[in-house]
A and B are shown apart, each in its own frame.
With several copies, the nearest count.
Chain A
């Protein structure tokens, strides 16, 4: 048991996976000697060799496409895409091949792989380094989509993803890569995909969120009057997603605020909102509110905090929902 940051937990989980299973192979831009631009693979090439932790050409299509081939041939590739904004060139290979190979061959050919991708804003990065495209993949059948935001969850979900026989996209909220440490067990453990986590319990209102905004939500909750009790749910797994936990909570509280960084329209918050209505219709005391990114391009960093759902905006959403 040691205290680890989110990125530290990912590094050690990858380290253990490489040690455990000779079929695991890491590939991505600058992940070898340089340890990745976020140092998530720091030291792994030195430990496991440059044929297992491979710095590839600058080509996301190639990374994804060869990873599919590696997986078909029985390896367990863990490709890294340097930033979520560079998933673009890998999009076609991922959603039109990786996600479809099993159903296309009625399970004869499968693609076990875990695509690691730093995600989200808040680090003052250039354009296309701060987006949140999770819904694109959640809407694409055949893929599992994860977004843990704590070191403990990251390890458990990454282990599940690597073990999974199907393609998983594993989003790592870069904003909280190093913001805090927590105890992470040394030994192997899994957290099942599709289980949300109740971060704090409450009676008056449910917040559903995922990724870095979990912490902005906590900040907002801290700023609420003492007599307001909010239940905070970290979805963690975007597909499959845990409607049981969400619906149970909203049926209890009667009110729901959804928070995410991605643009509002067509964001995964819409799906959660729609489901909440479907499943908690007679319990809802107010419309579900969504505090999300705007339907604009995430602005370059001078304005990024205006765009992101920061605590004050979340607070407003909570207050209005309660006042309804």
Chain B
């Protein structure tokens, strides 16, 4: 056969709840109940509040660099709801706060973490979340590995989900994670929050492809592009992917098309590289606005509930911040003690003496007074 087609593929886009809060009823079938919608809306709203307070904490010098989630919350909550808390694993980047909270991470941990304290990543037993990943694009392999362990142990009811940005897809480890997952056919979901920017680089300069979703074609991995500001579409795509995963159908890819409404982090100033007009256009697609519109249209939400939620959010976040601020100051020994299950002697000496020279490890040999040693 001289000239023939050996492979064909296409990428579908899914939107169920549009920018105006209008739902496609047919597509919405078997997705979210109204109660669930309200729940997810509340999660998003609280997360938004946290973002704003975190921003203020940073600006007033009480917190280091912090990456806001603003505008992207639907990706986190819609997908997190499709995963099973305490059973599945979440391997996050750093812009999915709401997903982490929904899966049991105490809210103040995230503040404590960004205040420069590793204990904010010491999640309680039973919370199946890996720590926020500072090196971009490198953590998805851990999700592949975790999902591989499920398969290996025949824990047929478990899946892993990993979140990452559009920028993260440029790292080699993205490719490695996708290839291993597809070769091993592990129950893993790759969720890309395509928020159009990686710090100052627009998506079009990050990659040459029309969509992020098509990157999965390289691995014959089921893939879909969804409106990432639409909790219905996000939920549906993730549930479908999870169902496929636990039924032995292997990994899936989801591109959530969304937008980073805030600066990259509090250390960034997005006005240097993007037009306000672009931001304004996306402000109208805000998941909170459209979800609220939908809830109001079906009569499960009104201004009173909104007011009540806003004040509740304030209270929650205030408590969260108080909790984060009131944790004890870490001590230097902490960064020694958690280096290894059991500390090598040499490191014990470093910890106990806060010295890095081994003079005096054996005072008799070097003739220094013992008192001198421990000074």
Contact = CB atoms under 8 A, between A and B. Distances in A.
- A–B contact (CB under 8 angstroms): yes
Interface of A: 25, 29-30, 32-35, 37, 51, 55-62, 64-75, 77, 85-86, 88-89, 92-93, 96-97, 101-110, 124-129, 141-142, 144, 164-166, 194, 239-241, 243, 247, 251, 264-265, 275, 278-283, 287, 289-297, 299-304, 306-307, 309, 313, 316-317, 320, 323-324
B339 to A, nearest CB: 5
Interface in B155-199: 160, 167-168, 170-173, 176-177, 179-180, 183-184, 198-199
A246 to B, nearest CB: 11
Contact of B173 (A30, A73, A93, A283): A93
Contact of A240 (B125, B346, B375): B346
A287 B145 contact: no
B118 A57 contact: no
A105 B122 contact: yes
Interface of B: 64-65, 89, 91, 113, 115-119, 121-123, 125, 130-131, 134-139, 141-150, 152-153, 160, 167-168, 170-173, 176-177, 179-180, 183-184, 198-201, 205-207, 267, 272-273, 329-330, 332, 334-336, 338-341, 344-347, 350-351, 354-359, 361-362, 365-368, 372, 375
Contacts of B173: 61, 65, 89, 92-93
Contacts of A105: 118, 121-123, 131
Nearest to B354: A313
Contacts of B125: 108
B357 A289 contact: yes
Contacts of A56: 180, 183
A103 B152 contact: no
A310 B314 CA distance: 41
A90 B179 CA distance: 16
A73 B356 contact: no
A71 B330 CA distance: 28
B116 A324 contact: no
B120 to A, nearest CB: 9
Contact of B130 (A25, A34, A72): A72
Contact of B138 (A65, A108, A264, A296): A65
Contacts of B351: 294
Contacts of A64: 141
Nearest to B140: A65
A92 B142 contact: no
A115 to B, nearest CB: 14
Contact of A34 (B149, B176, B273, B350): B273
A267 B159 CA distance: 42
Given A66-B141, A89-B172, A300-B118, A320 B339 contact: no
Contacts of A86: 135
Given A33-B273, A92-B135, A294-B336, 16 more contacts: A57-B183, A57-B201, A59-B180, A62-B179, A68-B141, A68-B142, A73-B89, A85-B135, A88-B138, A104-B121, A108-B122, A142-B339, A164-B341, A296-B335, A301-B64, A323-B368
